[in-house]
Structure 1
Amino acid sequence: MTEDAAAGRTGRPATFTSWLRGLSGSELDSLFAARPDLISPVPADLGALAARCTARPAVLRVLDQLDRFSLCVLEGVLAHDRVTVPHPDRDRQLGQPQEQTDSVGTKYHHLAAALGDPGGALDGALARLRQLALVWEDGDLLRPVSVLRDILPQPAGLGPPLRTLLGGLDPARLNQLSRDLDLPVGYGAGTPVDRLCEALAEPERVNGLLRDAGTEARSVLDQLTWGPPNGTVSGATRPVDVDTADSPVERLLARGLLLPSDDSTVTLPREIGLRLRDGQLFQEVEAVPPPLTGKERTPETVAREAAGQAFTAIRSVATLLEDWADEPPSVLRNGSLGVRDLRRTAQALDIDEPTAALLVETARAAGLLGTDEGIAGVWLPTPGYDVWLEHPPEVRWLRLVEAWLRSSRVAHLVGSKDDRGRSRNVLGEGLDRRAAPEVRLDVLHALARAPEGLHATPESLAEHLAWQRPRRQGSSYSALVEATLYEAGALGLTGRGALAPHARALLDELDDEPTPVTERATTKAGSLLATEMPQPLDHILIQGDLTAVAPGPLVTELSRELALAADVESTGGATVYRFSADSIRRAMDSGRGADDLTDLLERHSTTALPQPLRYLIADVARTHGRLRVGTASSYLRCDEPTVLDELVNDRRASDLTLTRLAPTVVASRSTRPVLLERLSKLGYNPIPEAADGSVQLSRPGPRRASDATPPAEIPAPIGPELRMAAVRAVRAGDEAATAARHPIPAPPGEPPASPAAATLSALTSAVREGKRVWIGYLDTDGRASSRIVEPATVEGGYLTAYDATRAAVQRFAVHRITGVAQTS
């Protein structure tokens, strides 16, 4: 991890690669944390890392992360790059003119002055740009990476440098311009371009040229001063001199204050533009974001409202998946959910369709919803759903929210049209927006910067985000912001428009550690939410009108039993269940007896069991199971012949073709499932029996999806251990590529041997501690050899390490490593 000062020792010009080589291990770690794409995969050496840092797509991704002030600072560094400026250290006491130099980069105090001395904000912005490897240091100069000159060709609205524009002119035009400026002609005392650059960088000379050009010409320059620096004229490259110039533009061209960039375009050179701006890069520099404004809510109200919505979200997801387990909706041919199924789900949950779409997509992203492998596919809960139900409510909420934050799916687009005019469906194509996770974090972090309890207005939030992400603005970004605000409220991250305390804690934990919050033993966000969320209850209030009221969330066992014996009538702060003959029969069909139901309700009800409910249970139990359906093709058996007499003479059952075999047995041509369903509809409440006459009552097992793979999500941030392993690998590769190293001999004796588990543990420890180890290795031909290696990473079944015995970076198949030993 030592710093490399090779450039300074050899006197070679500093380069971006040599600057990277001089970074410490912690600084490279910070670079990889800010730009994880640089180590996916790990570059071979620092030269490859430099190439990846300066690749146009990679730099464009980083620019989108910059705020307005950081972008202004970066444009300031670019604006002073490769311009001709007065030399600051020239001693002028000898009466000689101040020397001009063609600089590469800018000095800190020049940049600060050009930005209006923003104070400490400049240090923070430069530190961020340096961390992102967009700006690097060459002594006391700040230099941008070269690709930025193509990406931002007009930094701060300034035109190209004088040298660039003059280099495009023909020699005759250069000589004429030199004569008009009273400069030598030809190449006897340097090149015309050098002389013109030096002359047009002198403030006194430029001021004189501006006076000579006249007020009309100055008004032309005023229109180009703050950008754009280009103007359209006809014949911009025509010959012109000071004596013949009669229009304002010609007078400016003759004096070099404007220069042609093509036959129809004139451009204000960067140095002249800076002079006209009095050295200032921007008319106004905003070093801090605009504050958020809006209505103030009490933090307690926000926390209570958000916690209630969080509970509603997890309860709705559970209800949705339970309903789909009983009556799963079909998977359309395009892999989506039908519009009717979405509408039916929204009605069952008593929510609107956009919220239903959000819950469905979030459940899918969290791995709670999948498809089966049948020919006619259906959507079903996954086996992970049963595990999810066993967790406390706050942990279930964290699972949903983290999946939402990482998912690129935008449920708010459901119902909109794609480019081909087709409607987008839930769980179907066209809902992916790769920028969605970053926009969600942008919005939530912006709300977290507001005072606690502040409901920011959409206008102030838009202005704040425009400062935070100036390069991402547009209709698509605005739509994602709007969708994020809606979805954050529906999931319980915000309450009354303000960010909840548990959401603030969640953002802090996501920023501090890349490990998923659901994999941590405890979380502050979960603890805060648990104090606000209603605790599960084990009691209900049964009323005389055959309803039961659950004043809050119920424990899982009671909730399932009550859902079996009653139907949900309404939801909200309290849930109302209604008992009916059909619901009681449903419970009895699942194996619950009359005494079981009565005991359950008496045990959990805080009120006495009403007589009407006792009568209802008794009435259903009296008829339930008197008829028993078996398999002949099918038969009916009843211990009461009068019941069979009634059934055989019932005209509604004539289609069953019933035949009396004995006083207590009736046969039918219908199959047993058809007979069971038909007699249930007629009110006879039959039950199935086995061949030995035993009753077959059991609740059908829960159906679960066979495909539990969630859709692709944005990967979690790379952890510190992997980043430091990448630092070691890059260092080792660079050392092997640049240093004059000689192979060292392997230790004498047989290669080391150790069990596979011990080998893998020793390699992982060596990677973590950065130690050199001795390994035994079998090549593809089965030949054994000894190696001294410096491990960098162990992943995918391969060890990447610097092989000191071969003086090269090698990859070793872990299963071919026979053993590991410590070097002396």
Structure 2
Amino acid sequence: MPQPFTLLASVLEHLAGLEPAALAQIVALRPDAAREPRPVTLHQLAVRLCEAGPIAELLAGLDSACTQVATAVQQATGRVPAPGYYTHDGGGPLSAVCVVEQAEVQDLLAIAPGDDGHQRHAEVLKQLAERVLVWPVGGGLAVHPGLDELARLRRRRGEPMAQLPPLPLHCPLPDTTPVMPAERLLPEATTALAVTVEQVQALLSHLEGDPLPVVKKSGGGLAVPTIRNLAEHIACPVEQMRLLLHLVVAARLVVAKTTARYDQSEWLHIDTDPCTAWQAASPADKAGQLIGAWARLRALPGGPPAPLYRHRHRHRHRPTARTPTLLSREDLGFEAAPAIRRAVLNTLTLLPPGQAATSTADLAALVRWHRPRWFLPNPPPPGVYSSLDFDDRVDLDLVLDGVLAEAQALGLTVRGALSPLGRVLLSDGQDAVAALAATVLTVTGTVKVQSDHTLVAIGIPAPELSALIDQIADLETVATHTRVWRLSTTRLQRYLAAGDDAETLLEQLRAVAPDGLPQPVEYLITDLGRKRRPVAVTAGTCLRAGR
């Protein structure tokens, strides 16, 4: 039978026997114990580690091997969890700790004597001890009472409480295929990132002149036809437009404001101060802002479909089938979305540089192995969702492709392989991403005008250069360090019809074209300007003679 000990005394005794490096590892893995005011004695640290509040979040971050061993340890205690547990107060449920035998845990995991599972079992127990979920006491294992949350969760999900399946020795690394040489990943990633920055710039320019109406029902948001029309205007796919709208809202460049009209309608407006700072920022700083906004975006690509969120409901026994409107409160209210994106990027770090998983299903299995409590298994378990039995996990198969597409649009991945920008984001944050992008994203204020009516810019065009060229030419090619436009007769006619004459336009082009303008380009603009020559209207006298 397990022997009870005082939880605080057992944790304090365990901490006293550790080296300073091991204590530092515990503090790094348990940031809840090192919160302000920071503990200055082992007793204060032990009291923090005895608290049950952070245990649920800590258990959710364990991989499959740690979760399985922790579940087996909890079963070995023989405790039936109470409906709730409370923070250690000297006499609550967390004031007692149980000690179990390792042989009993190995029997639950079906580890035969002498096989490879013993070594893996010891490695997993060490990882749990670094989080003070279990720790050695004499010849057994002391168990944190917070592990009872695992039994509550399994009972709530209807999972069998019998013997566990064999312990997974290693994570299932997928088969990989080379994408490109590692030295080419950064230029390729910055190209995609530069395109997204330009699309965001075009979206902001459009919203400045033509705000979008916000749906008053369903918690606000934008209607599907509005998104489609906007995507057609910006010339990008609808899913890319969804990402752009999410980014500008997360970066707080646009806001929904109530217009003083009879219907008190809401419109999506430009937020002046952040947008002014955005316009003055360099392309690398803009890229860093967008990546930071994506990292904290509380929405998943495409909006949460019906099987994604499985909430309990008082009157319904199935998940809601309504898809929330884009940018609505429900669409932007999924707090776990940033952690899911980071989990996908962290999984890609396990693959060799410059290589991607051959199958998306294999990559999804790897993500599930590292975060089993976040995602539904494949296939999802059958069951009836009622007010008491519900599942809050995410169906990874519905969101993985979208998350990878978003990461590729922002240059964090290249064809499924993690790029240098993605690795820097995981290790150092968005400021380091902007610094790395600045080494590749060069800004230019000049173009080379060629006789075939094309304009070539080497590097990222400056905002004032893009504002001029986009009015008279169509963007044809976006390469690693090159932008190519072609003069459009339609855009030129529209530009000249707005009031500017051909000679002014030629002077503006000569100012940004150090090599001069070819004769065919000058002839084209001059001929169009002649057709659009303004008609002078002056006052005159009319003489009318009678018969």
Q: What is the TM-score of this pair, normalised by structure 2?
A: 0.72
Matches within 5 A, 1:396-415: 396-413=286-303
Residue identity opposite 2:368 in structure 1: A
Evaluate the alpha carbon distance shift between residue 395 and residue 287 of structure 1 in structure 2; reply closer, same or farther with a 3 A threshold.
farther
**2:343 equivalent to 1:451:** no
> CA, structure 1 residues 106+20, in 2 after alignment: closer, same or farther (shift >3 Å)?
closer
Decide whether aligned partners of structure 1 residues 51 and 127 sit closer, same or farther in structure 2, where only a CA change above 3 A counts. closer
What is the correspondence of 1:705-744 to structure 2 with a 5 Å cutoff? none
For 1:380 and 1:610, the matched residues in 2 are separated by 39
Q: Which residue of 2 aligns with 1:576?
A: 486
Aligned to 1:477: 395
Per-residue deviation, residues 168-199 of structure 1 (Å, max 9, x unmatched):
xxxxxxxxxxxxxxxxxxxxxxxxxxxxxxxx
| Cα pair distance change 1:327/1:436, threshold 3 Å | same
CA shift, 1:391, in A, is: 2.7
- One-letter identity of the residue aligned with 1:575: W
Find 2:330's aligned residue among 406, 430, 437. 430
Alignment-derived partner of residue 623 in structure 1: 534
Q: Which amino acid aligns with 2:512?
A: H
Give the superposition deviation at 1:389.
Answer: 3.1
Whether the 8 Å CA contact 1:14–1:138 is kept in 2: the answer is no
Counterpart AA for 1:466:
R
Deviation at 1:302, TM superposition (A): 3.7
Say if 2:56 and 2:149, in contact at 8 Å, map to a contact too: no
> CA 1:506–1:153 in structure 2 vs 1: closer, same or farther (change >3 Å)?
closer
Partner residue of 1:324 out of 194, 199, 207: 207
| 1:234 counterpart residue number | none
1:566 to 469, 472, 478: 472
Is residue 539 of structure 2 the alignment partner of residue 641 of structure 1? yes
Aligned position for 1:293: 175
| 1:391 counterpart = 2:281 | yes
- Structure 1 Cα separation of the partners of residues 192 and 267 of structure 2: 29
Offset of 1:348 from its aligned partner? 1.9
Q: Pick the aligned partner of 2:55 from 49, 54, 59.
A: 59
1:357–1:385 distance in 2 versus 1, CA, 3 Å = same
Displacement of 1:393 in angstroms is: 2.2
Contact 1:313–1:492 (CA under 8 A) maintained in structure 2: no
**How far off its partner does 1:444 sit?**
0.7
The one-letter amino acid paired with 1:294 is: T
How far 1:488 moved relative to its partner?
Answer: 1.4
1:25-74 deviations in Å (ceiling 9; x for gaps): 9877755654455678869995995597324xx43322221112212332
Once the two structures are TM-superposed, the CA of residue 16 in structure 1 deviates from its matched residue by: 2.1
Post-superposition shift, 1:415? 8.0
Do 2:298 and 2:336's aligned partners in 1 also have CA atoms closer than 8 Å? yes
Q: CA RMSD in A?
A: 3.9
8 Å contact 1:569–1:577 — kept in the other structure?
Answer: no
Are 2:99 and 1:105 aligned? yes
In the TM superposition, what are the counterparts of 1:751-766 in structure 2 within 5 Å? Answer: none
Q: Report the Cα distance in structure 1 between the residues aligned to 2:121 and 2:282, rounded to whole angstroms.
A: 47
- Per-residue CA shift, 1:114-136, capped at 9, x if unaligned? 75455765555334323333224
Percent of aligned positions that are identical:
22
Question: What is the alpha-carbon distance in structure 2 between the residues aligned to residue 416 and residue 389 of structure 1?
Answer: 38
Alignment of 1:591-740 (within 5 A): 595-605=503-513, 606=515, 607-608=517-518, 609-617=521-529, 620=532, 622-623=533-534, 626=536, 640-641=538-539
Distance (whole Å) between structure 2 residues aligned to residue 143 and residue 78 of structure 1: 10
Amino acid in structure 1 at the alignment position of 2:294 = W
For 1:217, the equivalent position in structure 2 comes to none
What amino acid does structure 2 have at the position aligned with 1:356? M
SS in 2 for 1:597: helix
Q: Secondary structure at the match of 1:412?
A: coil
How far is the alpha carbon of 1:421 from its aligned partner? 5.0
What corresponds to 1:187 in structure 2?
none
**Equivalent of 1:537 in 420, 431, 444:** 444
CA contact (8 A) 1:17 1:47 kept: no
Mapped contact 2:7–2:50 kept (Cα < 8 A): no
Structure 2 CA distance, aligned partners of 1:353 and 1:374?
27
Q: CA–CA distance in 1 between the matches of 2:451 and 2:226?
A: 35
SS at match of 1:470: coil
Q: Distance in 2 between matches of 1:286 and 1:530?
A: 43
Tell me which amino acid in the other structure corresponds to 1:610.
E
Map 1:348-367 → 2, pairs under 5 A: 348-367=233-252
The Cα offsets for residues 257-298 of structure 1, whole Å up to 9 and x where unpaired, read as xxxxxxxxxxxxxxxx8xxxxxxxx66433321212132122
Change (3 A) 1:505 1:40: closer
Q: CA deviation at 1:402?
A: 1.8
Paired residue secondary structure (1:336): coil
Q: Distance in 2 between matches of 1:577 and 1:594?
A: 14
- Following superposition, the deviation at residue 336 of structure 1 comes to 1.1
**Paired residue for 2:6?**
15
CA distance in 2, matches of 1:43, 1:602: 63
Q: Which amino acid aligns with 2:132?
A: A
Rounded to whole Å, the distance in 1 between the matches of 2:412 and 2:142 is: 42
CA distance in 2, matches of 1:332, 1:147: 45
User: One-letter code of the match for 2:270?
Assistant: P
**Rounded Cα–Cα distance in structure 1 between residues aligned with 2:143 and 2:453:** 76
Contact 2:502 2:525 in 1 (8 A): no
Using a 3 Å threshold, how does the CA distance of structure 1 residues 128 and 499 change in structure 2: closer, same or farther? same
For structure 2, the 5+ residue unaligned runs are: 80-96, 155-159, 310-318, 381-393, 543-547
Per the alignment, do residues 320 and 48 of structure 1 end up closer, same or farther by CA in structure 2, a change over 3 Å counting?
Answer: same
| 1:77 equivalent among 68, 73, 79 | 73
**SS, match of residue 203 in structure 2:** helix
Query: Deviation at 1:333?
Result: 1.4
1:532–1:550 Cα change, 3 Å = closer
Equivalent residues of 2:299, 2:337 under 8 A apart: yes
Matched with 2:142 is 143
Supply the AA of the counterpart residue of 1:496: R
Distance 1:544 1:320 in 2: 31
Closer, same or farther: CA 575–566 of 1 in aligned 2, 3 Å: same
- Gap change, CA 1:154 and 1:571, over 3 Å in 2: closer
Matched residue of 1:413: which SS?
coil
Higher relative contact order (CA 8 A, sep 6+): 2
Q: Is this contact kept in 2: 1:16–1:136, CA < 8 A?
A: no
Write the distance in 2 (CA, Å) between the matches of 1:154 and 1:399: 38
Q: Trace 1:802-821 onto structure 2 (pairs within 5 A).
A: none
Q: Which residue is equivalent to 1:660?
A: none
Alignment check: 8 A CA contact 1:68 1:286 kept: yes
2:196, 2:364 → 1: CA distance?
27
452, 458, 463: which one aligns with 1:556: 463
| 1:583 CA drift (Å) | 0.9
Distance 1:321 1:32, change over 3 A: farther
User: 5 Å matches for 1:118-157?
Assistant: 118=117, 121-122=120-121, 124-139=123-138, 141-149=140-148, 151-152=150-151
Correspondence for 1:467 among 361, 366, 369 = 369
Q: Which residue of the other structure, out of 490, 493, 497, is the alignment partner of 2:416?
A: 497
One-letter amino acid of the counterpart of residue 446, structure 1? T
- Determine if contact 1:43/1:49 at 8 Å carries over to the other structure: no
Between the aligned partners of 1:151 and 1:434, the Cα distance in structure 2 is 22
How far apart, in 2, do the equivalents of 1:594 and 1:412 lie?
A: 45
C-alpha distance in structure 2 between counterparts of 1:557 and 1:429, whole Å = 36
Distance 1:446 1:390, change over 3 A: same
Measured in 2, the distance between the counterparts of 1:48 and 1:20 equals: 6
The higher radius of gyration belongs to 1
1:317 to partner: Cα distance: 0.8
Query: What is the TM-score when the length of structure 1 is the normalising length?
Result: 0.49
Unaligned runs of 5+ in 1: 1-12, 84-102, 156-226, 230-272, 274-281, 511-516, 627-637, 646-824
1:379 maps to what in 2?
Answer: 268
